[in-house]
């Protein structure tokens, strides 16, 4: 099966770095159906080998005042949406949903980090969705399809007519708070993020919760794995470091709230790379990046930040048997030049 040309796994310089224009900084182009879209990336390898089918593909999207909504979109694959900053009244997104029976509903996509409205939402394969900017000048999110050929097999439709005047907002009908009517939601500290999202301690440090797992299995050299799964992952002032570890599968990271978050990545040939996730795109911070499988990774919360919340998608799906926590003696012996930089982030 042919895949779209891959985007770089690690972010690099862009032509828009000096402009401050989010579309240029993220290489977004306008879409005829509405909004902006970026290049497609994906996970094509596992354990150093090519997959017969792309496990996951993703792209970043944007709405602004000139293009405030997308068209309807439907794929045969599951689509997982990940909301990026900014948030709150300054930038609100409404997610319109159409199920297999044709019933239309709506809900906000992410509110404040301390709210109980997740920054992830999964649209099952065969269901339709559209996204609307309801407040603010622009808003960003990313979409991941599982399996990864979903973008190539998608269908688009024109934007639906708005709800009838006087009709109850569809978001209220689903039980989810509407963007405009969410009393008491403010920017809370990190404990509110942890509690609202039901996160628990992670062996690496930080806190996590799994949100999505594909029902489709894929055969790998290490056994059967889900095609993909996702988590929320949080660093806060109580647990500000994700210790050095390695995973077999590629992991793509999506910034949801807070930060900046500083990542150090160690390639198999001993080269260190630094990635900063954050909102300051002009300074080189990024909302999305992929850590290749087989690379060592550590993360830390910026000194002035109270929290950093991300989503991660692992494809083929994460299994704790595919993870290794770094040991100082092994890293020192194999990567002596990088060891001194990484030593503060190694647990034992």
Residue 172 reports pLDDT greater than 50:
no
Q: Please tell me the distance from the alpha carbon of residue 8 to that of residue 27, in angstroms, as a whole number.
A: 12
Percent of the residues in the chain that have a pLDDT greater than 70, as a whole number: 82
pLDDT-derived band of residue 115, with 50, 70 and 90 as boundaries? Answer: confident
Q: Which two tokens stand for residue 319?
A: 């299994």
pLDDT digits (tens, 9 = 90+) for 5-36: 444 566 655 444 445 789 999 999 999 889 99
**Could you give the angle at the alpha carbon of 113 between the alpha carbons of 253 and 36, nearest 5°?**
55
CA-based nearest residue to 16, from 254, 286, 305 = 286
Element (DSSP H or E) covering residue 143: strand 138-146
Span 205-264, pLDDT tens digits:
999 999 999 999 988 888 889 999 999 999 999 999 999 999 999 999 999 999 999 999
Among candidate residues 31, 26, 23, the one with its CA nearest the CA of residue 73: 31
Domains of the chain with CATH codes: 16-160 (2.60.120.10), 191-345 (2.60.120.10)
**Run of H or E including 257:** strand 250-258
Rg (CA), the chain: 20
Task: Say what the alpha-carbon torsion angle 330, 332, 335, 340 is, to the nearest 10 degrees.
Answer: 140
What predicted TM-score, i.e. pTM, was given to this entire model?
0.88
Neighbours of 213 (CB within 10 A): 18
pLDDT of residue 183: 31
Q: How many CB atoms lie within 10 A of CB 290?
A: 22
């Amino acid at each position: 099966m042919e895949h779209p040309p891959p985007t770089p796994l690690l972010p690099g310089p862009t032509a828009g770095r000096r402009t401050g224009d989010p579309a240029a900084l993220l290489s977004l182009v306008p879409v005829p159906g509405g909004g902006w879209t970026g290049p497609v990336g994906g996970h094509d390898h596992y354990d150093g080998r090519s997959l017969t089918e792309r496990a996951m593909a993703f792209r970043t999207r944007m709405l602004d005042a000139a293009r405030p909504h997308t068209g309807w979109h439907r794929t045969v694959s599951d689509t997982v949406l990940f909301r990026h900053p900014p948030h709150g009244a300054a930038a609100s997104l409404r997610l319109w949903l159409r199920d297999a029976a044709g019933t239309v509903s709506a809900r906000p996509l992410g509110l404040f980090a301390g709210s109980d409205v997740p920054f992830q939402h999964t649209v099952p394969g065969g269901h339709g969705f559209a996204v609307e900017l309801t407040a603010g000048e622009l808003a960003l999110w990313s979409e991941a399809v599982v399996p990864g050929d979903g973008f190539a097999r998608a269908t688009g439709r024109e934007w639906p007519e708005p709800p009838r005047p006087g009709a109850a907002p569809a978001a209220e009908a689903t039980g989810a708070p509407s963007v405009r009517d969410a009393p008491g939601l403010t920017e809370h500290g990190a404990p509110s993020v942890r509690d609202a999202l039901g996160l628990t301690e992670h062996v690496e440090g930080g806190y996590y919760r799994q949100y999505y797992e594909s029902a489709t299995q894929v055969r790998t050299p290490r056994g059967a794995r889900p095609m993909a799964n996702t988590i929320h992952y949080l660093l806060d002032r109580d647990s500000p470091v994700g210790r050095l570890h390695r995973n077999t599968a590629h992991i793509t990271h999506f910034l949801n709230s807070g930060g900046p978050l500083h990542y150090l990545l160690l390639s198999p040939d001993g080269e260190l790379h630094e990635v900063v996730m954050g909102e300051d795109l002009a300074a080189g911070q990024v909302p999305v990046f992929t850590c290749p499988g087989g690379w060592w990774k550590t993360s830390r919360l910026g000194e002035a930040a109270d929290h950093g919340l991300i989503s991660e998608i692992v494809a083929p799906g994460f299994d704790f048997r595919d993870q290794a926590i770094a040991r100082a003696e092994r890293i020192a012996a194999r990567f002596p030049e990088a060891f001194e930089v990484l030593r503060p982030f190694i647990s034992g």
